[in-house]
Structure 1
């Protein structure tokens, strides 16, 4: 039996709104997770709120290891993820066993209120699939509601980029909100460890990672949950 695919969500945001500083996808948060899932035999598709071009946060290249750079230079990854990502209306949610929201500060501006991405996530979750994220990618799950209008994260243990990490990154006043604060406001049990340390939390079919050091931890937790 063929395994269902994993849907990876990327941002279209190129810069902060407070001042024209470049932002976008944090490269390693995509490449590390995707590499682990592909090695486990899963196919991966890429979607963004608008489809098409996905910018990279230039700072993420400074932290990119050899594996990340190899994928970044791969023509297929460049085409499918960074140049011609799918638009939500091109996605058949029934085809996926999990959705994974990547991070980078850009996602703070186009993930939270994307109704199309929320519809996809709801369908995947409704059919028994997994909602996963890393770092700022938790922004894609903060406003997600179930069919009864309740926040899916309410009462669940989750994590994401913390307020402390935002301050240490000197971006506290650049972001439109703080993930940790909104998560708590929406009823989540926000958990965290020391800043910039790998950490992932599993609560049922919701799996989240704290920061850019956590994509492998999220991937491993998802594979464990799936029983791969």
Structure 2
């Protein structure tokens, strides 16, 4: 049985205090659903543990897909989500895949979390899968390998781009330009030709998705690659 660690945010508000944020629900539900269908083991964790806020934008009718709606209305799932383990609790556990689920909230509590950096680096250097989608690739920015280099240096990857931030009307709210930060770390960044469409990049055991619309494809690719191991 495969074991997956799904990591989510604890942040529910932008620094300005004007808008709410949190987990983008579909970025968790699609991988969660796919893993459950396989009968594999799931642990949900967050930097602090406990309650996980959901970005209200991800619950709007135009973006709340059938699977995500069903899980949002499932009290068992919601209870599990709001009793997430802390990264401190799980940092020394072994997993077949570490999956970082996104949302703007992750731009605040992921990049400088030392437990997260430790978990990601250990996982990658153990030749096990590291996957991240959308804004949460920001949590990969400061993870370093044992040789001192940034983990994402030279890696083929993607993530939410600056033009998509314009479309989302969050450029003035976010703490940094994610696309620029990825490039500054020396990663080989690419994105879909059409903004807000599904795009996934797999670089061996390192898999990234560009935006929420990549959630289904990310889940398929992660499951497919895990089944090969």
Q: Same fold (TM over 0.5)?
A: yes
How far is the alpha carbon of 1:188 from its aligned partner? 0.3
Partner of 1:163: 162
The residue number in structure 2 matching 1:141 is 140
d(CA) in 2 for partners of 1:28 and 1:93? 28
Give TM-score scaled by structure 1 length.
0.94
Partner Cα distance (2:121, 2:73) in 1: 33
SS, match of residue 77 in structure 1: helix
Number of equivalenced pairs: 225
Partner residue of 1:70?
Answer: 70
Q: Structure 1 19/94 Cα, relative in aligned 2: closer, same or farther at 3 Å?
A: closer
CA offsets, 1:52-100, max 9 Å, x none? 111010010012122111111222211221x111001211544211111
Runs of at least 5 residues in structure 2 that lack an aligned partner in the other structure: none
Q: How does 1:73-222 map to 2 (within 5 A)?
A: 73-81=73-81, 83-91=82-90, 93-193=92-192, 194-222=194-222
CA distance, structure 2, for counterparts of residue 166 and residue 196 of structure 1: 10
Q: Deviations over 1:132-191 (max 9, x none)?
A: 011111111111111111111110110010111001111111111111101100010111
Q: Post-superposition shift, 1:210?
A: 0.4
**Is the partner of 2:117 in helix, strand or coil?**
helix
Q: 1:72 & 1:206 partners in 2: Cα distance?
A: 29
Give a deviation string over 1:28-59, Cα, whole Å, max 9, x none. Answer: 11001111122233221111111111101001
- TM-score, normalised to structure 2, is 0.94
Instruction: Verify the 8 A CA contact 1:36 1:216 in the aligned structure 2.
Output: no
CA contact (8 A) 2:34 2:223 kept: no
Is 1:16 aligned to residue 18 of structure 2? Answer: no
- Given that 2:91 and 2:118 are in contact with CA atoms closer than 8 Å, whether structure 1 keeps it comes out as no
Contact 1:94 1:124 in 2 (8 A): no
Query: Paired residue for 1:48?
Result: 46
Moved over 4 A (4+): none
Structure 1 unaligned spans of 5+: none
C-alpha distance in 1, partners of 2:93/2:50?
A: 22
Q: Which moved more, 1:86-95 or 1:184-193?
A: 86-95
1:4 equivalent in alignment to 2:26: no
Which deviates more, 120-129 or 135-144?
120-129
